Structure 1
């Protein structure tokens, strides 16, 4: 019982009873763990005594029955019916399932209901799964995407089958190939990542109570006969995701009880019948399907809460439908098709009719569409995830984007006549690409919308002269701004802005405590990264009184300045960057001073930051000409220097102690040949981002495959990757 460590201290009487309960578990580890989990936190003597009494009263014929008896007792202690239903539902997934997918099913089934928002439903779902994990009826694992999942021990799953035989019939796995197994009392059927090839016309099961049919990732499934659905009138959930079906049978149109139709990743799909009769449908997922046109009858889906069309080949969402889908909570339209970005455009005024939206990912082709939508924005909206692409995009433009895990994103491209917009105040990521009229960020949004920004990327904005204007700071006490501008900023990229001379005003530095990355490339007129006090908004009095200030950028890890022919200064003040890992300075011939202040040892000599990995520069001559705060800084950093396309200058002189770190540093170190390629491409942000994303995907795939414990696990993961690739 000590294995799960009770939160409360047990009295001697209760501890004695707990030992007796352990003896009743007959030394079976799974039974002991499960029983301990179900009694965690219980310190009442009466409840423990009652538990022991019930265990002694139940009888078992053999060892298998003994195990089931003890596990069943833990199940019976679940005092909420929905929790018991959730637990039994997990038996449909022998290999486990991601939490989000499972909770989605539970919502579709109505096991989670009565909440005002989808977020609240997911919170309830995670709470239920946490409770089942805490009592050891479910165990946690990370799925192929690194997302949290749950699964059952084989014995516990067998117990769930026995329980369900007394209530409702389920069928899991290749049993469904046996036509005789499709009984009238069948309620749920599941075969994930199976080898089903077709469902022939001779198979028309009489299953009037069947509510759930889950066949995702049967990637050999190409054909389903129309007769198959004829007698499944109570079907509520149909999941054919990641199969190779080309036609969804017309008989699906008559499944009027259907609440979820999931066809995600059906790349060969060319036909979905009319949805006009499916008035109870709440979730429709056509993401990454091969449809050229949307199904007919969508305007009748007044109960629809979840609609994903990202990756379909339809270029524009039909006008007049959205205002009739007033219950929508999730609406996703933009994605990739065959390596090409293929967003479905939508009108801003129509999206503005959807007042219950919580997730919105879409493409507004015109700036006026974004304006039309944002005008409807008010405190009554509950949008917690959004991604707006605005303007004319092509695949070269999209390649500049980084698809991160951020949930509140605005991307602007090829727009003119930008006016300062009323953006959401919680925007996390902003990309401005080829917006020729913007002279500073202030032309796009006001300072109140910058407090939550984590990522800014400004690309090929030829008329942009500075990142910020003084108007943002006029009402702010200087030199330390207190309005939170860029306080959460982590990554900043600036590429190809040929008119920009200054980047950040120095008055902003105290706010950049969370900054991790600065990358500036191909900005022909860039003179200063951090503007001098004379050019910033600080008055002369402040300037003279603060000439020796040191600024801390404690989280800054990466500095990259490439092809900046006029760059003369990074910052006139001293910068403490204790987390710095990589420095790249290429083709910046006028840069003669580095403002980085190194730690000083007891002997007075400077020491590199402990986190430092490598420094890339053009030549040893340039490096030796650079001025530092301490005259010995060049020598202290020399072991980390990589010049041109070569290896580190002092690589052959590294001590034996450094060799022990090779495994850890392999991912950072570049040998001579590979580094020459890398060096030649450092001025090309687009190329580097593409390479970075491909290596991330490949490394994740390899790690996943080598971690497989069984052939079934490998097939399950390959099914997902095959469709993703």
Structure 2
């Protein structure tokens, strides 16, 4: 029933936010399902009450009814899958805003944008092709058009942006499109894929499909793309270097043009900085450089980027001579890009840039992922791990600053960098001589390259993100005596390597088999005595790892998310190990005593946490004095407290320490990011700890920044009573409490607690059923709270806290509060209020119904200058929102607040111009009172249905 209700909450939420007019049939079906869930929930509650009433008598008579209800629940759960595709039938917010750079050449680009825009608005033209040589700005131009389409909804409801790249195929193109529309086609046969994709795309109307960097002609029906037509309101736009691709796809072809001389000059100066013109004789020098860039935007930006910060005329003159000498006529633009590579004048920066070429073309490379590689390869080095991470970020920033990489974002907003395909081609061309690389990343390989391709002078091989299934026994050990790096990660069907494969690769230092289905590592791995990094993250089928006793050079060992059941033999010999990852090794139940304490050089240690169990002895962690990052959990409060005490003499600078077993993946504990300082108590009986350990029951590191207490029973009226020296946690920034009983207040008012409260930035409360208020104040504390009390608070979330009546009292200033979310708090009367008698205690407030309302309160208006989002739902007693927002207010959502009469933040003349979205249910909208009728009209213009 709990799973069923979670599904109900999810579908109910999507109904309110995603279904729009025109989906009445689907909406009726889903609402009927939701009502069925509520009905069966009520029936099961009635059965539970009946069972309680009859005790042990006549239970056999109820058993048949119980079995019947279980069957009904299971059937209802299955029908909640909505096999016809609930998610895809719901109209989606189609399209993502693309990160853009400034358009160089306003006249040329503006003209091309106008030409393409006119064709997009022309109903007679359904397919458009933008073509031109690499580096002319085709992708940049289309990113701006994509973003403009998302802003202007008159003709199209959205876009689907798909990067294709050179090493593509029908299957890869289908997968790329399917990912963009969140449709899984991996389980369909090759013959079905096109029809299934066609069916899903046909449900998305009035959309522009953008295929960026297309190299081949594809038949739309073979891919599964519906033919654009006036009936479906969709269009296709592609970018390509080849005119024949435009013709082969029946597109209206639009040629890209080089910049004019003046546009080239302006783009160069905008990139390098116009202050260079203040240097004597520099204007002529700049013109020479611009001429050498051949009016190509990529060449201009890249070469100008390499000259940033150079203020000496003679240095510019030398650079110009180098640029002219770099062109040999074989590939002019690649040679000009190599000039920027040479100008880096830093081998580590150059090696970093070349390393990016090991990833697939057009791949968004996670910054943290890349830096971990660079550390493992010793391209980035520092006195400690934190210094290495900072140096890695600085190195990537320099390459972005030099316009050789571009910043972008990946899944879930992950910070990434991307390499232009021409710059990647340049980097790979450099390595044709030395160091020699074999790079076939993301090219669709189904087997490893033939043995003759494994040359003796190869240094690095990247076969990542292909479809290779194994390295067969017929493939003899390649004779690559200088090979240092082998990347096979992301071959998701890869299962095995022949036992003798590594016999002649003695110098191998980094081996990455992450995200494969490999089951057993070959015995020959035990002979790789120079191996410094063995990466097996996400190898869920992995069950056997040979002895690691000889691999004493290992510095990095990553088993995260693997299927290992026990620690490999010889782990205790890895005395140089600096990085050890066991995160989400669900089958690993114990790390034997005496291993961790011998890994004295560990800087990073991550053990199972959340819903996985791995037993360790906390005493061994105390001996790891060089730890900088620690992520692990305990099952015993005493051992946890002992480790916290040891941190007083110095401990990790970044940590997530957990006590107990986290069970709900959707809770905010999973917002904790590695790199912070957090403590989690989950499914713990803190009452028992209080009884056995007195006032020292719960300890926390004094520098903790994030605290989460989940599903705990608490025998204390406030956190101040529960946690020793809580008032000393002046670095606490985020506080999460979910599904906890027994706690009546978070804090007790005192002068010593104010420094903590004034630094708190996030407060998340969900299901804290006994909570009556945020701060408990004694009668003697008659003075109002200082204005700085919650001066740093940015985000407030309160859900399902039924006993709380008021959140903030006597708080005159919340200068940084941006987001307020309050849901399902049955007794809440006010969010922010000011009492006329500051000496009243919160718990003495009478029920508003019995007391005849809030007449004993003086309701003052509170200004929240940075408030952006306000969401209030299921608050049956809420009477007022005395909040005035400044020009930052963007979204207001209010539903099922029947006693609410006025929304002050909206009732203003003029209405806040920043307002983008208002969702207020119809009944409440009709009953609201307004002082400014013009404000009501203005809000009506941005009001939307739930």
Choose from 71, 80, 83 the match for 2:349. Answer: 83
Q: Which residue of 1 aligns with 2:790?
A: 512
Partner Cα separation in structure 2 for residue 458 and residue 433 of structure 1: 8
* Secondary structure of the structure 1 residue equivalent to 2:355: helix
Whether the 8 Å CA contact 1:498–1:522 is kept in 2: the answer is no
User: How does 1:326-475 map onto structure 2 within 5 Å?
Assistant: 326-335=600-609, 341-378=611-648, 380-381=650-651, 383-391=652-660, 393=661, 395=663, 400-406=667-673, 407-413=676-682, 414=684, 415=686, 416-418=688-690, 419=696, 421-431=699-709, 433-442=711-720, 443-470=722-749, 472-473=750-751
Spell out, residue by residue over 1:68-91, the C-alpha distance to the aligned partner (whole angstroms, 9 max, x if none). 433333222222222222222222
Spell out, residue by residue over 1:163-187, the C-alpha distance to the aligned partner (whole angstroms, 9 max, x if none). 2233222101149422210111111
Q: Which residue of 2 aligns with 1:323?
A: 597
| Deviation at residue 12 of structure 1 after TM alignment | 4.3
Choose from 613, 623, 629 the match for 2:900. Answer: 623
Q: Which residue of 2 aligns with 1:596?
A: 882
* Secondary structure of the structure 2 residue equivalent to 1:228: coil
Whether the 8 Å CA contact 2:892–2:919 is kept in 1: the answer is no
Choose from 507, 517, 530 the match for 1:257. Answer: 530
User: How does 1:199-278 map onto structure 2 within 5 Å?
Assistant: 199-203=471-475, 204-278=477-551
Whether the 8 Å CA contact 1:561–1:584 is kept in 2: the answer is yes
Partner Cα separation in structure 2 for residue 554 and residue 500 of structure 1: 24
Choose from 99, 103, 126 the match for 2:367. Answer: 99
* Secondary structure of the structure 2 residue equivalent to 1:48: helix
Spell out, residue by residue over 1:139-170, the C-alpha distance to the aligned partner (whole angstroms, 9 max, x if none). 33323343233343333333333322332221
Gaps of 5+ in 1: 533-548, 600-606, 671-725
| Deviation at residue 195 of structure 1 after TM alignment | 1.3
Choose from 830, 854, 872 the match for 1:584. Answer: 872
Is it true that 1:119 corresponds to 2:397 in the alignment? Answer: no
Q: Which residue of 1 aligns with 2:431?
A: 164
Partner Cα separation in structure 2 for residue 287 and residue 216 of structure 1: 14
Q: Which residue of 2 aligns with 1:562?
A: 824
Partner Cα separation in structure 2 for residue 587 and residue 147 of structure 1: 36
* Secondary structure of the structure 2 residue equivalent to 1:47: helix
Is it true that 1:489 corresponds to 2:728 in the alignment? Answer: no
Whether the 8 Å CA contact 2:869–2:890 is kept in 1: the answer is yes
Q: Which residue of 2 aligns with 1:709?
A: none
The 3 A distance-change label for structure 1 pair 370 and 221 is same
| Deviation at residue 613 of structure 1 after TM alignment | 1.4
Partner Cα separation in structure 1 for residue 534 and residue 762 of structure 2: 40
* Secondary structure of the structure 2 residue equivalent to 1:208: coil
Partner Cα separation in structure 2 for residue 559 and residue 586 of structure 1: 11
Partner Cα separation in structure 2 for residue 640 and residue 263 of structure 1: 48
The 3 A distance-change label for structure 1 pair 128 and 508 is same
Whether the 8 Å CA contact 1:561–1:588 is kept in 2: the answer is no
The 3 A distance-change label for structure 1 pair 19 and 296 is same
* Secondary structure of the structure 1 residue equivalent to 2:655: strand
Whether the 8 Å CA contact 1:94–1:152 is kept in 2: the answer is no
Q: Which residue of 2 aligns with 1:684?
A: none
The 3 A distance-change label for structure 1 pair 598 and 78 is closer
The 3 A distance-change label for structure 1 pair 85 and 495 is same
Partner Cα separation in structure 1 for residue 420 and residue 576 of structure 2: 37
* Secondary structure of the structure 2 residue equivalent to 1:377: helix
Is it true that 1:299 corresponds to 2:572 in the alignment? Answer: yes
Bigger relative CO (Cα 8 Å, ≥ 6 apart):
1
Spell out, residue by residue over 1:649-697, the C-alpha distance to the aligned partner (whole angstroms, 9 max, x if none). 479x9988657646xx5xxx42xxxxxxxxxxxxxxxxxxxxxxxxxxx
* Secondary structure of the structure 2 residue equivalent to 1:165: coil
Partner Cα separation in structure 1 for residue 726 and residue 737 of structure 2: 17
Partner Cα separation in structure 2 for residue 22 and residue 259 of structure 1: 46
Q: Which residue of 1 aligns with 2:411?
A: 144
Whether the 8 Å CA contact 1:176–1:182 is kept in 2: the answer is no
| Deviation at residue 587 of structure 1 after TM alignment | 6.1
Partner Cα separation in structure 2 for residue 583 and residue 144 of structure 1: 26
| Deviation at residue 63 of structure 1 after TM alignment | 4.8
Partner Cα separation in structure 1 for residue 427 and residue 802 of structure 2: 68
Q: Which moved more, 1:443-452 or 1:42-51?
A: 443-452
The 3 A distance-change label for structure 1 pair 508 and 519 is farther
User: How does 1:531-542 map onto structure 2 within 5 Å?
Assistant: none
Q: Which residue of 2 aligns with 1:602?
A: none
Partner Cα separation in structure 2 for residue 360 and residue 122 of structure 1: 16
Is it true that 1:179 corresponds to 2:451 in the alignment? Answer: yes
Q: Which moved more, 1:270-279 or 1:519-528?
A: 519-528
Spell out, residue by residue over 1:16-54, the C-alpha distance to the aligned partner (whole angstroms, 9 max, x if none). 122223333444444333322222221212112222334
The 3 A distance-change label for structure 1 pair 597 and 133 is closer
The 3 A distance-change label for structure 1 pair 350 and 646 is farther
Whether the 8 Å CA contact 2:538–2:561 is kept in 1: the answer is yes
| Deviation at residue 291 of structure 1 after TM alignment | 1.6
| Deviation at residue 497 of structure 1 after TM alignment | 3.5
| Deviation at residue 221 of structure 1 after TM alignment | 1.1
Whether the 8 Å CA contact 1:598–1:609 is kept in 2: the answer is no
Partner Cα separation in structure 2 for residue 614 and residue 272 of structure 1: 54
* Secondary structure of the structure 2 residue equivalent to 1:18: helix
TM-score (norm 2): 0.59
Whether the 8 Å CA contact 1:345–1:362 is kept in 2: the answer is no
TM-score (norm 1): 0.76
Spell out, residue by residue over 1:316-358, the C-alpha distance to the aligned partner (whole angstroms, 9 max, x if none). 332221111111111112356xxxx214343322212222222
| Deviation at residue 598 of structure 1 after TM alignment | 4.5
Partner Cα separation in structure 1 for residue 818 and residue 600 of structure 2: 45
* Secondary structure of the structure 2 residue equivalent to 1:403: helix
